[in-house]
Amino acid sequence: AVTQVSVESPLRAICLPLETVYERFQQPAHGFRDLLGQYLSGEKPKGILETEEMLRVGAGLTGIGELALHPDGSLHLQPPARGGDEEIGDGGPEDSCVICLSRPRECVLLGCGHICCCFRCFQALPARLCPICRGPIDRVVPLYQA
């Protein structure tokens, strides 16, 4: 028998096996005002990548939470009663600095755009090369996650 379960917070899901169904790269505008703004800011955008990903029908997923039976007889997967406000991904390996693996990722490496390390490890790099792609790092910008 197949049981259907509604998920209370589907947008908080992480590590889903998504398939890219649409991808478009748009070159930046090259008007005089745009070029002047790029010159003054010192940043030259490479463009905007727009992607759309979907979860395949029938994909196997693992849900963490509590099953609740609603008065209408439907099952709902909701966050656990204790610690319900915590996000599963917070502080996980995907959020950790790739160098020390202990502090969160805190900076964007301009040039390649990777977000991979904490500021302390960036300062300790012997050469100003990205630890992911070995590309030159032009500038570093702090990362603010809301």
- For all residues of the chain together, what is the average pLDDT? 80
Q: How far apart are CA 136 and CA 6, in angstroms?
A: 47
Average pLDDT over residues 112-129: 90
CA distance 34 to 42: 12
Q: Where are the domains of the chain?
A: 91-146
Cα–Cα distance, 18 to 10 (Å, whole number): 14
Residue ranges in the chain assigned as alpha helix (H): 32-41, 119-124
Q: Using CA atoms of 129, 133, 135, 141 in order, give the dihedral in degrees to the nearest 10.
A: -70
Q: Would you say 99 and 132 are in contact if contact means Cβ atoms under 8 Å apart?
A: no
- CA dist 79 and 93 (Å) reads 21
- pLDDT value of position 136: 92
84 — pLDDT class (breaks 50, 70, 90): very low
Strands 5-7 and 75-78, sheet pairing: parallel
Q: Residue 44 and residue 50: Cα distance in Å, rounded?
A: 18
User: What does the CA dihedral 95, 99, 101, 105 come to, rounded to 10 degrees?
Assistant: -30
Q: Is the pLDDT higher at 37 or at 92? A: 37
Topology of 91-146 in CATH?
A: Herpes Virus-1 (3.30.40)
